[in-house]
Copies of this chain bind each other. A is one copy, B any other.
Amino acid sequence: MNPRLEVINTGTELLLGSVINTHLQFLAEALFPLGLRIERQVTVPDGRAIADALQETFGRAQIVLITGGLGPTTDDITRDIVAELLNLELVHDEGVMQAIEERFIRRGFTLGERVRLQALRPREAIVLPNQNGTAPGLYLPPLPLPNCGQSSPHIFLLPGPPRELKPMFNEAALPLLQKLVPAGASEFKRNYRITGTGESHVEERIGAELLALGIELGYCARPGEVDVRIIGSKAILDRAETIILRHFATQIVSMDESSLEKVVIKLLTERSQTLGVAESCTGGFLAHHLTNVPGASRVFQAGFVTYANDSKTRELGVPAELILEHGAVSAEVALAMARGVVRVADVDYALATTGIAGPGGGTPTKPVGTVYVALASRQGKELVRHFTFRTDRETFKTLTTQAALDQLRQQIQ
């Protein structure tokens, strides 16, 4: 049984929404390989609120990580609160003071009175050096709690700024944490990214069967895709994988959390094939996804954001009569756009999108959300699919982009 670990983040800016909490992700990913999971996370404002949050963990958690409140300003009182709750005396640490002084001299700053407070630490604490700031981290081993038969958890005090926290955690905290975990306790984690279906559909088809294996199962849904996350021993994960593949083989985008665009660029790179896109309703979002992948330039040649009808005709040679007859949002025009890209940009594959993102522009026969996604290839392969994505404008663009990329992925896989 691994120790229970909890995280307390202090920082009024987090609760005001001025800053997004990225600590949790960093800490979770760093802890997982040790077999440690964050069982609970709390955010409290600067100041005394941390006292309650810490006290709540006593008797429940074996390890507590606290971030923030170690700096020199008046609202930085994490160190004092912990000393008070554990009834510990703060002593001046000469080694810390020297490190602070050297840092100030190097930067040409003068040393203020409040800065010296950062050299105070409980006598029982181990200092975690800070390479990127003045406030050191501290580790407190379990100590008897005042007026109570229990011991305190292992407590780690860590700085708030990510660029100070991250190296300190990796270099000084992780080695200490490693010693607190029983050997061989670590679990394995796998992730399957499935496209073209919803969370509830995925669970209906495989949920019961997977849970019967005794694994831990989680889902994370984003527009157009679902991540299925399984945690357990290697042998059981192998059996779970067989089940997932049996049901979703063709819809699995990746097993390493790679995005659809990364997978498509990789497949085309391996084949030395090129790609172009023509976008109406996705308005550049499809090209943006593809060009987010480092090395995309070997594959992706050109994109056309043909928003106006004229532009479809002029840039891609879509016949004006075709647009007049079927409308700009039609299977015929989507295909003509894709064909146009293959010809004009001289590429192996082309994807095209045309639809009505809304909020305006819908008609009775083609309501807001109507979209056509087409694929054409130099070899003459042609596909077109119709969807209705009735949602907000940005999600519409995301779903359409996913559908277009997946059409290509299925074709070249």
A residues near B (Cβ < 8 Å) are 12-22, 24-29, 32, 37-46, 49, 53, 56, 71-75, 106-109, 112-115, 132, 134, 161, 163, 167, 189, 191, 198-201, 203-204, 207, 211, 217-223, 227, 229, 277, 279, 282-292, 294-297, 300-308, 310-311, 314-315, 344-346, 357-361, 388, 390-395, 397
Contacts and interface: CB of A to CB of B under 8 A. Distances in A.
Contact of A73 (B22, B74, B203, B303): B203
B307 A305 contact: no
Nearest to A135: B200
B283 A287 contact: yes
A45 B20 CA distance: 19
B393 A106 contact: no
A29 B207 CA distance: 37
Contact of A344 (B56, B167, B219, B314): B314
B311 A307 contact: no
Contacts of A388: 106-108
Contacts of A73: 199-200, 203, 207, 219
Given A27-B17, A284-B284, A311-B302, A40 B43 contact: yes
Contacts of A107: 388, 390
Q: How many copies does the complex hold?
A: 2
Nearest to A71: B199
10 contacts: A18-B218, A19-B220, A39-B45, A112-B204, A279-B303, A285-B291, A287-B287, A300-B307, A304-B305, A311-B345
A279 B219 CA distance: 37
Contacts of A114: 200, 203-204
A216 to B, nearest CB: 8
A287 B305 contact: yes
Nearest to A283: B291
A39 B15 contact: yes
A114 B19 CA distance: 37
Contact of A305 (B15, B26, B198, B302): B302
A393 B292 contact: yes
A4 to B, nearest CB: 11
Contacts of A394: 163, 292
Closest 6 CB pairs of A and B: A283-B291, A284-B287, A17-B28, A303-B305, A284-B284, A302-B311
A206 to B, nearest CB: 11
Contacts of A163: 223, 391-392, 394-395
A13 B229 contact: yes
A23 to B, nearest CB: 10
A273 to B, nearest CB: 14
A220 B13 contact: yes
A106 B367 CA distance: 11
A16 B45 contact: no
Contacts of A306: 302
Given A46-B218, A74-B211, A287-B305, A359 B294 contact: yes
Contact of A49 (B40, B221, B296): B40
Given A17-B28, A74-B207, A279-B284, 11 more contacts: A21-B24, A73-B199, A161-B222, A163-B395, A279-B287, A283-B292, A284-B287, A291-B305, A291-B357, A295-B360, A304-B304
